[in-house]
Structure 1
Amino acid sequence: MSDVRVHNFSISLDGFATGAGQSADAPFGHAGERLHEWMFTTRFWHEMGGGREGGTGADHAFAAMHSAGIGAEIMGAGKFGPPGWQDDPDYKGAWGPNPPFHTPVFVLTHRPRPSIEMEGGTTYHFLDASPAEALKKAREAADGKDVRLGGGATMIRDFVAEGLVDHMHLVQVPIVLGRGVRIWDGLEAIEDVYDIEAVSTPSGVTHLTFTAKRR
């Protein structure tokens, strides 16, 4: 069976994956871009835009695992767009006409709408479904490849709590946000079900990888 993976998911030292006050102009609230600055200097980030600049060190190596073998993505409503996007019937996501996913993407929302086919192989499907139900549909669409969970924190937390995540890569950034949406709430004793490794890099971030223990 295909794996369920999380990649390049940045959190603060106090576990927040986004700040407070999200809006169209501030997708990560008061955190701004501080959670993701580590990625902007990598070759992976520049290659996403068609360039060849950027470093090829450890941060790049972790970041580049993001897309290999992925056949579908699941994301929460908060990643797809800012608060209130459901009220705009013409809204098509935050990534323009050619989103970077290039696979079927399943958006979890309590207000589903018809699927939207974008350029480059991305098709958005909107589901009001439980994690297990959404994963079943995503696995069918992935056709044997892995399924990536794109975020946000609430959605990933729900999938982890139900034992559905095989591999999780979190990037701990040395800032304290104090408020926002946390990844860890309700996930006590996560070390009992995952093998955890930590790798720190010169950029100051720590890459945390969680691999499900096989029973």
Structure 2
Amino acid sequence: MSKLRVESFTLSLDGFGAGPDQDINHPLGVGGTSLHGWAIPTRTFQQKLFGSDGGETGIDDEFAARGFQNIGAWILGRNMFGPVRGPWPDESWRGWWGENPVYHVPVFVLTNHPRPPLVMDGGTTFYFVTEGAAVALERARRAAAGKDVRVGGGVHVIQQYLRQRLIDEMHIAISPVLLGSGERLFEGVNLPALGYACIKHAATARATHCVVSRR
């Protein structure tokens, strides 16, 4: 059965999933890039993001790799697509990833402002959904054709699906850094009351990996 999954989402020790003041120079907010010290060196991220044949194997890479397994569609918030706010001034912004993004499947972007679908190289098409999270999920499931749907973020998008108990499984990586401010993933979210529990955890030198599942 198709699942709704969060994968490789990293939190700081003080609970932040993104730093403050996101802009074109700080895609993850100020300090946010430091969260991903566990992921960048992995073979999976080196191949997916940089087209490199190198990279480290081991536990960190195993968790990075699982995030791309059996994924048929993604859901992103507007901020995850780019730093442009308000109505689209034009169609010049085409994402953070160049002309061949890492997704290679349909991606549904939650936004309040309509925009035509954006067809990219490698099988990625961005669809801009103005009707809300439920409609985005419905369309993503249909596009995934029986495979899982991955919620890429950001924080507020994940919270929307969590509060409705729609997320089946989350891989959270806890990075040994402190951000001090930003967006807290579990702010106001009572995971046990919603039926979630940690079913697996593993620690490496760069992160503690936790898998949280809905009972």
* TM-score, normalisation: structure 1: 0.93
C-alpha distance in structure 2 between counterparts of 1:157 and 1:6, whole Å: 11
Tell me, yes or no, if the aligned pair for 2:17 and 2:183 is still in contact at 8 Å.
yes
SS in 2 for 1:33: helix
2:114 paired residue number:
112
What letter is aligned with 2:53? R
Greater shift in the superposed pair: 38-47 or 61-70? 38-47
Q: For residue 2 of structure 2, what is the aligned residue in structure 1?
A: 2
- Pairs within 5 Å for 1:14-53: 14-48=14-48, 49-53=50-54
Tell me, yes or no, if the aligned pair for 2:32 and 2:179 is still in contact at 8 Å. Answer: no
- CA distance 1:189–1:10, shift in 2 (3 Å): closer
Q: Does 1:202 align with 2:209?
A: no
* Cross-structure match for 1:13: 13
Percent of pairs identical after alignment? 42
Q: Which amino acid aligns with 1:142?
A: A
Structure 2: state its 5+ residue gaps: none
How far apart are the structure 1 equivalents of 2:105 and 2:185?
25
Amino acid at match of 1:36: H
Does the aligned pair in 2 maintain the 1:5–1:146 contact within 8 Å?
Answer: yes
TM-score by length of 2: 0.93
CA distance in 1, matches of 2:109, 2:29: 21
- Tell me which amino acid in the other structure corresponds to 2:74: E
Paired residues of 1:115 and 1:126 also in contact (CA < 8 A): yes
Cα separation, partners in 2 of 1:13 and 1:88, compared to 1, 3 Å: farther
What's the CA shift for 1:83? 4.0
| Residues 154-193 of structure 1 aligned to structure 2 (within 5 Å) | 154-190=156-192, 193=195
- The secondary structure found in structure 1 opposite 2:20 is coil
- Contact 1:78–1:152 (CA under 8 A) maintained in structure 2: yes
How do residues 25-174 of structure 1 correspond to structure 2 at under 5 angstroms?
25-48=25-48, 49-84=50-85, 86-174=88-176
Task: Read off the aligned partner of 1:198 and give its amino acid letter.
Answer: H
CA RMSD of aligned residues (A): 1.5
* Residue correspondences, number: 212
Within 2, Cα distance between the matches of 1:174 and 1:31? 13
Q: Contact 1:22–1:83 (CA<8 Å) still a contact in 2?
A: no
Could you tell me whether the CA contact under 8 Å between 2:165 and 2:194 is conserved in 1?
no
User: Greater CA deviation, 61-70 or 194-203?
Assistant: 194-203
